[in-house]
Structure 1
């Protein structure tokens, strides 16, 4: 299937670029699709949109060869998924668009978008900076960024970890995280990190006189209230609560070392807004796959 009008149609979407990490992402996405009971759409997005009329004949020939190579690339990835998983509901497509724009368009009606953290460049953050980070930042559905050489089988005894802010978006993030934990038959660890460097700086020498245990107790209450209803809604998922006096990025990076999946929320800041520093750091450095759940402003 080729064209800019490809639709996800409620499937899990995975972007591939011919690299081994992207093939591993496709296999990971196939398992995510199986758990959801939906099909898998394997796509390679080419940056040649609108060049047909502008390019001379030689350029069009180059474009045709490029598209042929792209088709072979994406079909090879899809065939690997079919052979490795036995799934018959795998579709391959070449989308004629900029990689970020193409994946964002597909996210409008996708169940999930999966993308590898590294691409053909082999450098951490190279693909992330140009594609994965931008997709996670603006996608209309959850996005999972997969680290290189991730061993899903070895991680299956680990919990899903979810970052809780203690704010209005927690329920959306928890809904995704609880569903992931339930589908994986594992537990959920809810992590709430609290630290206010600006307040600590303002207190100056008075910091030692503050009863931080009172503050911590209040933060524990925020976390308990956030997860309380989910224990009743999904009693089969054991939920543990962890409160850490630290920056969110540091606390969640530590938690990712023992997680099967790390789930965080991200608020859209407009077309030209940047992904938050916490989410950006986790996408780059987390030891496990990171799921970014889009939140309303």
Structure 2
């Protein structure tokens, strides 16, 4: 059985946009779509049973709305919907283990009916072992495509660029492959971006001398990036690749590069930290500030 694309839904505008984006992605990948709603179980007492019944009813309504949204956008799609008991982060992480991709709204409702609050989405991204895509409210099919000649929105034009952010000091095949595959599926151009910063006197190790100028450093990084990508260019000959290196903070560079893109792909190293799993500063920044969907690809 093929792995599925899963969309977590809670009835918010963000999660409905995520469900529609997930349906389009499932069609591109030729994968089944699962719509999932998580709710918290209450103890089996009279009040608990009543609360559980209410939550099941609300979950059915949320899933029905998401399914209607999906079928309007992708008439041929027949999603499978399911309710799961929370906590939401744990339920979504468990489901994602067997998924091709997990898609969530980047913000959500708080309170009784919603579960995709910021802490849940960030918790899933920090711990997921499969790729997670975060989608903002208002994301439409036309937003993935270039504007028509008259400047109007269209789904008949080619796809916008896929932007792949690479840290050349922490390379991972899974992240690169995800970016190339996303571009291939869309027949889109892939823009690969790396940001570097000149070493400061405090960051130089014993015996190291910061002699190279910025121009030389830029050329060295460009050569390294080209060498890394050559294998992938050979593997994906139909994908047009544009590569660039720039001096500056990685988060600022990626946020700027993602302007006008259809998808941003970044990596996330799975590492237990003293305070538990967390997203790194670059991932955290792009999740909060990039307008297009963001794919976070975990790696060891």
Instruction: State the number of aligned residues.
Output: 278
Q: Which residue of 1 aligns with 2:293?
A: 289
Secondary structure, counterpart of 2:99 in structure 1: coil
Cα deviation code 1:237-288 (max 9, x no counterpart)? 1001111101110000000102110001101123822110100011111121
Q: Report the aligned-residue RMSD.
A: 2.3
Q: Which residue of 2 aligns with 1:229?
A: 231
- The alpha-carbon distance between structure 1 residues 263 and 128, as it changes in their structure 2 partners (threshold 3 A), is farther
Bigger shift: 81-90 or 179-188?
Answer: 81-90
Determine which structure has the larger helix proportion and give its number. 1
Give 1:210 shift. 5.0
Which of 23, 29, 39 is 2:32 aligned to?
A: 39
Q: Which residue of 2 aligns with 1:169?
A: 171
Q: Which residue of 2 aligns with 1:98?
A: 87
- The alpha-carbon distance between structure 1 residues 259 and 84, as it changes in their structure 2 partners (threshold 3 A), is closer
Q: When the two structures are superposed, what TM-score results if normalisation uses the length of structure 1?
A: 0.87
Q: Does 1:77 align with 2:70?
A: no
Give 1:138 shift. 1.1
Give 1:120 shift. 2.2
Which of 241, 245, 249 is 1:247 aligned to?
A: 249
Task: Please say if residues 10 and 116 of structure 2, whose CA atoms lie closer than 8 Å, have aligned partners that are also in contact.
Answer: no
- The alpha-carbon distance between structure 1 residues 287 and 72, as it changes in their structure 2 partners (threshold 3 A), is closer
Supply the distance in 1 between the matched residues of 2:60 and 2:279 (Cα, whole angstroms): 32
Q: Which residue of 2 aligns with 1:267?
A: 269
Secondary structure, counterpart of 1:154 in structure 2: helix
- Name stretches of at least 5 consecutive residues in structure 1 with no aligned partner: 1-7
Secondary structure, counterpart of 2:188 in structure 1: coil
Q: How does 1:1-297 map to 2 (within 5 A)?
A: 10-48=3-41, 51=42, 54-120=43-109, 127=116, 129-157=118-146, 158-196=160-198, 199=200, 211-270=213-272, 272-296=276-300
Supply the distance in 1 between the matched residues of 2:60 and 2:11 (Cα, whole angstroms): 11
Secondary structure, counterpart of 2:268 in structure 1: strand
Give 1:62 shift. 1.9
Q: Which residue of 2 aligns with 1:4?
A: none
Task: Please say if residues 17 and 136 of structure 2, whose CA atoms lie closer than 8 Å, have aligned partners that are also in contact.
Answer: no
Task: Please say if residues 198 and 247 of structure 2, whose CA atoms lie closer than 8 Å, have aligned partners that are also in contact.
Answer: no
Task: Please say if residues 262 and 288 of structure 1, whose CA atoms lie closer than 8 Å, have aligned partners that are also in contact.
Answer: yes
Supply the distance in 1 between the matched residues of 2:74 and 2:245 (Cα, whole angstroms): 39
Q: When the two structures are superposed, what TM-score results if normalisation uses the length of structure 2?
A: 0.86
Supply the distance in 1 between the matched residues of 2:237 and 2:15 (Cα, whole angstroms): 35
